[in-house]
Amino acid sequence: MKRVYVYKDRSEENGKVIAVEETMESLKSQVIKHFQMKEENVRLYTANGCELLDVRVVRDEEKLYINVEIKNAGDKIDVAMKKMDLSDKSKSVSDWITLNVGGQHFTTSRSTLLAKEPLSMLARMFADDNNMYLMNPSITDSTGAYLIDRSPVYFEPILNYLRHGNVILDKHVNPKGVIEEAIFYGIESMIPHLSKLVDEPNSSSGSDRPLTRMDVARSIIMTPTNSELRFQGVNLAGADLNRLDLKYINFKYACLSRCNLSGANLSHCCLERADLSHANLEGTQLLGVKALCANMEGANLKGCNMEDPAGSRAVLEGVNLKGANLEGSNMAGVNLRVATLKNANLQNCDLRAAVLAGADLECCDLSGSDLHEANLRGANLKDAAFELMLTPLHMSQTIR
């Protein structure tokens, strides 16, 4: 967790150390509490004068200001500068500029409008007299904000791009609309990024495209450790998720077909009715996993570990493991009741005290496995291989 130093103004006389949590609202609520301010008066600014809109851009131990001006009656220099601005607006532009875009006010610094796109319409409107591209700003409203008759919804991503250089769109913002505004304002460097978003199939309407490793990693990073992360019903087909820590994630009904989960930690995950057909789970940790009726047909679970020292048992009841490879897996105490393991490879598996009652083990290879105290009552053992068993299989284990 990051911490920031919040001051009333740049004099830095009255400051508080505040922990930055996940949202902008939580940061503002702390400022309201510690400085006893009204919510409508709280606007935070960084050291370079930019208004803070997203806590993700805040660095650890950064200084933030509620007011960027030093409210000091004895500060004659500031007063003189204000008088100069008022006396000759045509030749001098304030370092702080308020724009009225379609009825919504945006406050930013002149350097933000000039630095990244010096040839844009906004930069030319507020450049100084020495700039050959200088053009007169538009008229102002009653508050002194410069009027621009364009959409505020599409202008906000453009202003944020000029601040930090990244294209970030909310779900409800159509990139096509932002492109039109970027062309109007002359923000040329932003257009290729937006065009890429438009070209992505169904980018703005929640498509069925599978999530990627980056999508999953980003969700894990953004989710607090005390909150449940849900990928319930999500399409992750073919994703490369090897060696990721995926503990306690809810994958119920998710599509993980042909996923690479080798070496990943899926302990205590919910995989109920999930599709893991032909997925690679070699060497995966599956302690206490709940995979009731999951489809793992043809999956590679070679060398998996399902034995929890704390006593939590993996539940694979009714799971489809037809043709799966579980060679060398530690499955002590696992619940495979009425599971389908036809043609599965269970060579050299540790199945001590495992529940295989009613399971379909037809043509299953259990050579070299340890079935000590395993429950095989009612299981279909037709043509199953039991060579080189570590412990003899007792009749009582297989008869009801």
From CA 375, how far away is CA 357, in angstroms rounded?
Answer: 6
The whole-number pLDDT of residue 288 equals: 95
What six digits make up the tokens of 181? 């505004």
The whole-number pLDDT of residue 69 equals: 61
CA dist 27 → 21, 56, 218, 219 (Å) = 7, 11, 21, 21
The whole-number pLDDT of residue 384 equals: 92
pLDDT tens per residue across span 60-71: 788 888 876 655
* In contact, 58 and 2? CB cutoff 8 Å: yes
CA dist 290 → 121, 200, 296 (Å) = 58, 35, 13
CA dist 273 → 193, 254, 255, 270, 277 (Å) = 39, 8, 9, 9, 11
Pick the more confident residue, 29 or 155. Answer: 155
* Identity of the residue numbered 371: L
Average pLDDT of the segment spanning 140-166: 92
Cα end-to-end distance, the chain, whole Å: 57
Number of H helices and E strands in the chain, helices first, is 8, 6
Pick the more confident residue, 399 or 387. Answer: 387
CA dist 188 → 127, 162, 192, 289 (Å) = 18, 11, 8, 51
**Is 70 exceeded by the pLDDT of residue 79?**
no
Phi, psi for 116 (deg, rounded to 5): -80, -40
From CA 273, how far away is CA 294, in angstroms rounded?
Answer: 4
* In contact, 272 and 253? CB cutoff 8 Å: yes
**Is 90 exceeded by the pLDDT of residue 53?**
no
* In contact, 146 and 98? CB cutoff 8 Å: yes
The whole-number pLDDT of residue 75 equals: 46
**Is 80 exceeded by the pLDDT of residue 145?**
yes
Cross-strand pairs, 34:
none
CA dihedral defined by 369, 375, 379, 385, rounded to 10 degrees? 20
Name, in order, each residue with C-beta under 8 angstroms of 166's C-beta and a sequence gap of 6 or more.
160
Taking CA 259 as the corner, what is the angle to CA 352 and CA 213, rounded to the nearest 5 degrees? 120
Longest dimension (CA), the chain: 103
pLDDT tens per residue across span 98-135: 999 999 999 999 889 888 888 888 888 887 655 444 56
pLDDT tens per residue across span 374-386: 999 999 999 999 8
Least confident of 27-41, 151-165, 346-360: 27-41
pLDDT tens per residue across span 346-376: 999 999 999 999 999 999 999 999 999 999 9
pLDDT tens per residue across span 263-289: 999 999 999 999 999 999 999 999 999
Average pLDDT of the segment spanning 137-146: 86
**Is 70 exceeded by the pLDDT of residue 201?**
no
The full set of domains in the chain, from first to last, is: 2-65 (3.10.20.90), 76-199 (3.30.710.10), 211-400 (2.160.20.80)
From CA 191, how far away is CA 201, in angstroms rounded?
Answer: 18
What six digits make up the tokens of 303? 């060398």
From CA 27, how far away is CA 219, in angstroms rounded?
Answer: 21
Average pLDDT of the segment spanning 284-310: 95
The whole-number pLDDT of residue 24 equals: 83
Residue owning tokens 């897996």: 329
Average pLDDT of the segment spanning 238-262: 95
Q: What is the DSSP letter of 185?
A: H
The radius of gyration of the chain from alpha carbons, rounded to an integer in Å, stands at 31
Pick the more confident residue, 12 or 179. Answer: 179
Smallest CA-to-CA distance from 359 within 331, 330, 387 is with 331
Average pLDDT, the chain: 84
- pLDDT confidence bin for 43, thresholds 50/70/90: confident
**Is 70 exceeded by the pLDDT of residue 77?**
no
Smallest CA-to-CA distance from 110 within 162, 174, 73, 75 is with 162
Least confident of 30-44, 79-93, 252-266, 290-304: 79-93
The whole-number pLDDT of residue 208 equals: 61
The whole-number pLDDT of residue 135 equals: 64
The whole-number pLDDT of residue 82 equals: 42
**Is 50 exceeded by the pLDDT of residue 86?**
no
